[in-house]
Chain A
Amino acid sequence: MNILVVQLLNALLYAAILFLIAGGLSLIYGVMRIVNLAHGSLYAVGAYVMAWLVGGLAARLPAPALLAVLPLAAAAVAAVGALVEPAFLRPLYRRAEEYQLLMTFGLLLLLEDLMRFVWGPTPLSATALWSSFSPVTILGAPYPTYNLLVILLGLVAAALLWAFVYRTRFGVLLRATSQHMRMAAALGIDVRRIYLQAFVLGCFMAGLAGAVIVPIQGAVLGMGVEALILAFVAVVIGGLGSLEGALVGAVIVGLVRTAAIQYVPELELAILYLIAAVVLITRPSGLFGAREARRA
């Protein structure tokens, strides 16, 4: 029983992180029609910035105050995004899609090594924040409070994002651009600005995911690509370009992965891809993808 509760919470924790990454990936795709292969690396940048900030500030600030550093790390990643979009992606919108993929792949290679250059090959950790909260007991099972906070954060992020996209003027512009870019432009929407804002928002979410995970598992090289692949599985299951899909996909991946690690650790990835493949074959545009998956 205890193990079940703990595993369920772990699955939700995992889903919360994955939602932040997959949601950003999906948002960027929905609006800009670009799959950002560097998205996982941006998540890793968030993790490294957070670990670096916590390392510098842990001695000076009381531990719970370090929570305030989370948005700082996310903002740093958003700033990276604000530089990347105009410099590297904007020149490519009119070119064939292969070039956009190649470009984001080039950025992925570049970012991965840049992290190694700046922060070195040894993993960084920020456990000060994690261990500053004493564990709570849920249904007889002790569980770290910080992990609960992360799950909560995932829920809040999902709610905020939903309100943002469906209940604000900016959300209307975003959805209009996503549905028909040329029509939106013809109606006077500054599409270029919407693109930049969507990309920066996606990067912010990825950075936030990286920042919140660091106190739990540390920042390692290669975490970005692993996250990219899992986020992609979540997005494929849910439907690329749909936020609801990203949420459901993240929960499914979180649950399946936790269960697989518990029972058949060797086949963890294989099972996830099997699920993704089944979803793709039966519902090509994902569970929530209303739009046609291949705009041939």
Chain B
Amino acid sequence: MNRGAASTEAMPRPAPARTLGRAGYVVALAALLLALPFIPQVPPFQRILLSYGLIAGITALAFNLLLGYTGLLSFGHSAFFGTAAYTAAFLVRYLHLTSMEAYLAAGFLSSLVVAVVFGVVCVRYTRIFFSILALALSQVLWGLAIKLFWITGGTDGIRVPSPTLLFGLIGGGDDKLTFLATTYYYYVLAVFALCVGALWLVVHSPFGKALQAIRDNEVRAEFVGVPVRAYRLAAFVLSGAFTGVAGALWAPLNGHVTPDVLYWPFSGRIVFMTVLGGFKSFGGPLIGALVFNHLEAYAVGYATYWQAVLGVVLVLLVLLMPTGLVGAGARLVARLRRS
């Protein structure tokens, strides 16, 4: 097992010049994202699609806190995304709340609670047991969402209208398309930036380093004094809660919450995006999420057997490209530089 080697490859000590270069890219990318609504060549649909991609990006980054940094592969992350999305929908349906901040806070908290409950059971195990327990538990929620139809609307789901933003300061007065493509796009962008920043800090904090130590060698980490199980639980809860933020953001964007977001193929998509981008680096899952989101938007119309395509790509990724798009790209760049 070359886990140690893989992790050093994943976290190169950044030379000062390189950090500067990377910061330059980030600033340029942020400027482009901010300017997008002012570029008339980019149709509103693209910005809505990108919002979906950014939300998927938060999900994949949060998921990777477990897979890439803690070494735990969860097949049940739909539970947290779906819990938060349903929480937002319940706020609309039962409390008639329209504040997006309420959705986000409630989504974060509800998925946090679910993550604590699931986490206490799941982190007693690692590897396969962990993975399938997470899958099994998430399917309980799916079963409940379908069967308690008088609460959840069953397979019809619940409609979520456009919310008001910033504590009611900005209402959803415009028509839905303009709202989603401009105001809400910026909102998603801001929350996205906050989440990426927060996750970056977590990963690079002493806590994040301890998680990587657990991933690379649990026994040694324990001997050094890392409380392994408590840290795993903390990582699980953080991962679940941030996935919940993504779910709450997603609910008004999609306008409709159905049990599909709790069903296991949704967890599979999260796993897929992360592995596609490459789970050995911080940014990999984000790239994977954006690429996946766009591919899916265009391919689903043509490919009836989209799931089979995903399966084949996943099999090929595991066999031939275990470091994902980012790893393969980095190798390509390195080769070009050498020649």
CA distance A225 to B266 in the complex (A): 13
Q: Which residues of B contact A106 (CB under 8 A)?
A: 310-315, 318
The yes or no answer to B271 lying at the interface (CB within 8 A) is yes
Does A293 contact B308, Cβ atoms closer than 8 Å?
A: no
A109 and B139 contact, Cβ closer than 8 Å, known pairs A101-B73, A117-B305, A265-B147? no
A266 and B147 contact, Cβ closer than 8 Å, known pairs A35-B132, A276-B136? yes
CA distance A267 to B139 in the complex (A): 12
A281 CB to nearest chain B CB (Å):
7
CA distance A173 to B124 in the complex (A): 32
CA distance A117 to B315 in the complex (A): 19
Does B3 contact A96, Cβ atoms closer than 8 Å?
A: yes
A117 and B129 contact, Cβ closer than 8 Å, known pairs A88-B315, A98-B67, A273-B137? no
The yes or no answer to A296 lying at the interface (CB within 8 A) is yes
Q: Which residues of A contact B314 (CB under 8 A)?
A: 102-103, 105-106, 109
Q: Which residues of A contact B131 (CB under 8 A)?
A: 35, 101
Q: Which residues of A contact B133 (CB under 8 A)?
A: 236, 280
CA distance A267 to B268 in the complex (A): 25
The yes or no answer to B128 lying at the interface (CB within 8 A) is yes
Q: Which residues of B contact A276 (CB under 8 A)?
A: 136
The yes or no answer to A244 lying at the interface (CB within 8 A) is no
Does B315 contact A269, Cβ atoms closer than 8 Å?
A: no
A233 and B136 contact, Cβ closer than 8 Å, known pairs A103-B315, A109-B310, A293-B129? yes
Does B307 contact A266, Cβ atoms closer than 8 Å?
A: no
Q: Which residues of B contact A270 (CB under 8 A)?
A: 140, 143-144
Does A107 contact B73, Cβ atoms closer than 8 Å?
A: no
Q: Which residues of A contact B3 (CB under 8 A)?
A: 96
Does A116 contact B305, Cβ atoms closer than 8 Å?
A: yes
Fill in one digit per residue for B99-133: 1 if any A CB lies within 8 Å of its CB, else 0: 00000000000000000000001001111110111
B217 CB to nearest chain A CB (Å):
10
CB-CB nearest in chain B for A276: B136
Does A109 contact B136, Cβ atoms closer than 8 Å?
A: no
Fill in one digit per residue for A99-115: 1 if any B CB lies within 8 Å of its CB, else 0: 10111011111111110
CA distance A264 to B293 in the complex (A): 39
Does B126 contact A296, Cβ atoms closer than 8 Å?
A: yes
Q: Which residues of B contact A229 (CB under 8 A)?
A: 135-136, 139
Contact of A99 among B136, B140, B306, B318 (CB under 8 A): B318
CA distance A196 to B241 in the complex (A): 42
Q: Which residues of B contact A109 (CB under 8 A)?
A: 265, 268, 307-308, 310-311, 314
Number of chain A residues whose Cβ lies closer than 8 Å to a Cβ of chain B: 48
CA distance A293 to B63 in the complex (A): 24
A78 CB to nearest chain B CB (Å):
21
CA distance A221 to B275 in the complex (A): 26
Q: Which residues of B contact A9 (CB under 8 A)?
A: none
A289 CB to nearest chain B CB (Å):
11
Q: Which residues of B contact A135 (CB under 8 A)?
A: none
CB-CB nearest in chain B for A273: B140
Residues 104-144 of A contacting B (Cβ, < 8 Å): 105-114, 116-117
CB-CB nearest in chain B for A110: B311
CA distance A280 to B121 in the complex (A): 8
Q: Which residues of B contact A91 (CB under 8 A)?
A: 319
Does A232 contact B148, Cβ atoms closer than 8 Å?
A: no
Fill in one digit per residue for A44-80: 1 if any B CB lies within 8 Å of its CB, else 0: 0000000000000000000000000000000000000
A240 and B129 contact, Cβ closer than 8 Å, known pairs A105-B314, A273-B140? yes
The yes or no answer to B75 lying at the interface (CB within 8 A) is yes
CB-CB nearest in chain B for A38: B311
Contact of A296 among B73, B135, B148, B219 (CB under 8 A): B219
CB-CB nearest in chain A for B118: A277
The yes or no answer to A85 lying at the interface (CB within 8 A) is no
CA distance A94 to B86 in the complex (A): 41
Q: Which residues of A contact B310 (CB under 8 A)?
A: 106, 109
Does A293 contact B305, Cβ atoms closer than 8 Å?
A: no
Which among A103, A106, A225, A276 has the greatest number of chain B C-beta atoms within 10 A?
A106
Does B144 contact A273, Cβ atoms closer than 8 Å?
A: no
CA distance A276 to B121 in the complex (A): 10
Does B128 contact A35, Cβ atoms closer than 8 Å?
A: yes
CB-CB nearest in chain B for A233: B136
The yes or no answer to B260 lying at the interface (CB within 8 A) is no
Interface residues of A (CB under 8 A from B): 29, 35, 37, 88, 91-92, 95-99, 101-103, 105-114, 116-117, 225, 229, 232-233, 236, 240, 265-270, 273, 276-277, 280-281, 284, 293-296
Starting from the known contacts A29-B128, A112-B311, A266-B148, 12 additional A-B residue pairs (CB-CB under 8 Å) come to A88-B319, A106-B314, A107-B311, A110-B315, A113-B311, A116-B305, A232-B132, A265-B147, A266-B147, A269-B143, A284-B125, A293-B125
Interface residues of B (CB under 8 A from A): 1, 3, 67, 71, 73, 75, 121, 124-129, 131-133, 135-137, 139-140, 143-144, 147-148, 218-219, 264-265, 268, 271, 275, 305-308, 310-315, 317-319, 322
Q: Sorted from nearest, which 8 A-B pairs have the closest CB atoms?
A: A110-B311, A109-B311, A113-B308, A106-B314, A269-B143, A106-B315, A266-B147, A35-B128
29 contacts across the A-B interface (CB closer than 8 A): A37-B132, A88-B319, A96-B1, A97-B127, A97-B128, A99-B318, A102-B73, A102-B275, A102-B314, A102-B318, A103-B315, A103-B319, A105-B268, A106-B314, A107-B315, A109-B310, A112-B307, A113-B306, A113-B307, A113-B311, A236-B133, A236-B136, A266-B144, A268-B143, A268-B147, A270-B144, A273-B137, A280-B124, A296-B218
